[in-house]
Amino acid sequence: MVKSVAPLRIGLAGGGSDISPFCDIYGGAVVNVTINLYAHCKIWCTKDEIIFKSLDQNEESHHSMDTKIQSTGKLKLHKGVYNHIIRNYNENNPMSIGVETLSEAPIGSGIGSSSTLVVAMIKAYDELLGLELKPHEIASMAYKIERVELALLGGRQDQYSAVFGGFNFMEFKGNDSKITGIDVPDSMREQILASMFLYYTGKSRESSLIIDDQIRNSSQDAGDCIRGMHGMKKCACSMLEALKKNDFNGFIDSLVKGWEYKKMTSKHITNLEIEKLIKYIMDNGGLAVKISGAGGGGFLTVICKPQIKQQLMMELDSYGGKSFMPGFEYQGVKSWKTGVSQCV
């Protein structure tokens, strides 16, 4: 048996500028940080069958060894990763294995759960087969499986954040990626944690609707969308400097401006319910609020005055969502063996 775990992430600035065709033409820039919520994967030997399980989605599928598995329907990510691995690393020979996953955040929550799950699965296969894949290879493979082979819409940051972990400044241009770890002073990290919490709105969102709108707008050179994307890139650069220089006010300013720029890229980013929540937060001690991920629902990242954080969390929970106080995770995806594998 092998196991793996990969951290989920919060997008702090620039998220959306990593989506094609904008980042192919102009280049994208993103700042994010991984948190102590995770995607887990376990692979074990079976007897002449292939099993896929998702504990959080309560789904399971069984396949015979002589059946070609189609990467469609339920557990599409599990099937897509399996097919990619046997096609490229196991000479098209089926493997008699079970693959079980668990995500600690709902799919569609906006903190990279789908991509992180793919990274966790790839790392487990890497451990199982002794592939010794390098970090950039894992992230690039995860992107290819999701965005190319499964044709799932999205950006580039999630796969890389799950692989590298910690605070990162990410630059993307076409197929090129540059990941730079950010050395954030301890006092800055502590101040952010003291002021920050996540609020899950209770509603996942269909990110593909928003991303498709952003792709169409940027492809057609729609003025507001392009200006918003460039503005988000600028905020990622200013966020980088604020984090390095222990500038908490600059950090807040980048979050606030980044959210305004993000709303320019698609009419589906926000709605009346979200705006009502944000107004309530800002009227009651909030310093900055943004949606993590594509938008439309999922998690809100909230920065507020530390002395009112607990009270504000309790009040927001009465709206029907759920508040979390995450910690930062500084290690990326990892895997380990729990026994001797003879199933491949």
Asked whether 161 and 168 are in contact (CB, 8 A), the reply is yes
DSSP conformation class of 306:
G
Compute the distance between CA of residue 291 and CA of residue 269 in angstroms, rounded to an integer: 8
Asked whether 67 and 94 are in contact (CB, 8 A), the reply is no
Asked whether 252 and 261 are in contact (CB, 8 A), the reply is no
Which run of H or E residues covers position 31? strand 28-45
Q: What are the tokens at 133?
A: 């894949």
Active site residues: 158
Looking at the chain, the number of H-run helices and the number of E-run strands are: 11, 12
Compute the distance between CA of residue 309 and CA of residue 319 in angstroms, rounded to an integer: 16
Of 151, 109, 101, 135, nearest in space to 10 by CA: 109
Give ∠ CA 84-294-101 in degrees, rounded to 5: 40
How far from the centroid of its chain's Cα atoms is residue 10's Cα?
Answer: 7
Asked whether 194 and 306 are in contact (CB, 8 A), the reply is yes
On the CB side of 106, how many CA atoms lie within 13 Å of its CA? 16
Length of the chain in terms of residues written: 344
CB neighbourhood size of 142 (10 A):
31
Compute the distance between CA of residue 54 and CA of residue 141 in angstroms, rounded to an integer: 21
